[in-house]
Chain A
Amino acid sequence: MEAIRKVKGKRKEHDVKLFALSTCGWCKKTKKLLADMDVEYECIDFDLLSDDEKKEMRDELKRYNPAVSFPTIIVDKDGVIIGFKKDEIRGALEG
């Protein structure tokens, strides 16, 4: 599986970016929720990146979430949802 990939979906109102770990159960729940909602998003499995990519993505993620924890969802380049917060994710993407 590509570490950085576009996940297709019918819902494209928002620019959605997910920082995840391929091994993380809560990240898996988040991916499943986005799939159920049929949201198109960019998925970054941080643990599958090369070392250089990790540093680059770490710097990007840190701007939104200083704890650099997973999952983190960035909505339209400024909204941030840290952790699998189902209602917040639905609220931000289904509105």
Chain B
Amino acid sequence: MRQYVENDAEENGYHVCPDPDLYEDLLEGLVENQERYGYPSCPCRQASGMKTYDADIICPCEYRDADVDEFGMCYCGLFVSQEVSEDPDKLEPIPERRPPEILEATMEADEEPEMEESEGIPVWRCKVCGYLAARDGPPPICPICKAKADRFERFRLSPR
């Protein structure tokens, strides 16, 4: 896990947590989640255990880049900017960027949506507002109109 995190940090121009105790705890949390759910979901967030629904919070999460840009660190503080890496006192709690509706929706969902085998990443269309998302399964809620996952359909270009 350490290798995975450190390689990812290096590839993306980030630094790892400069607080050694926090860093060890976060790595342990990731290992625990890997064992518990089968994928390393964010140790600082509640996962649903359904991979499709947790896709946005599998480490490194979808919110990392925006959080490091704005606050110099990801939500956990696992990945930080150079500035924070040189001054660990700048590590502090930052607001949650993941919309709370996602956790809400995943907690109400009992079953994971079926994933279809396909080449490349499938595209999902919200039947309510027309929003399109390219990902393995439909998002737990539509980020635009908040419709639930079951309102999404597989989107295909119709043959001419």
Contact = CB atoms under 8 A, between A and B. Distances in A.
Interface of A: 21-29, 46-47, 54-55, 58, 66-70, 82-85
A26 B46 contact: no
Contacts, number: 63
Interface stretch (B7-15, B24-32, B79-87, B119-127): B24-32
Contacts of B47: 47
Interface string B29-44: 1101100000000011
27 contacts: A21-B44, A21-B45, A21-B46, A23-B28, A23-B30, A23-B33, A23-B43, A24-B25, A24-B29, A24-B76, A25-B22, A26-B22, A26-B77, A26-B93, A27-B44, A46-B46, A47-B46, A55-B107, A58-B104, A67-B95, A67-B96, A68-B100, A68-B104, A70-B46, A82-B93, A83-B94, A85-B93
Nearest to A22: B32
Given A55-B107, A84-B93, A26 B100 contact: no
B5 interface: no
B107 A58 contact: yes
B44 A24 contact: yes
Contacts of B107: 54-55, 58
Interface of B: 22-23, 25-26, 28-30, 32-33, 43-47, 76-77, 93-96, 100, 103-104, 107
Q: Is the interface of B mostly helix, strand, loop or mixed?
A: helix
Nearest to B22: A25
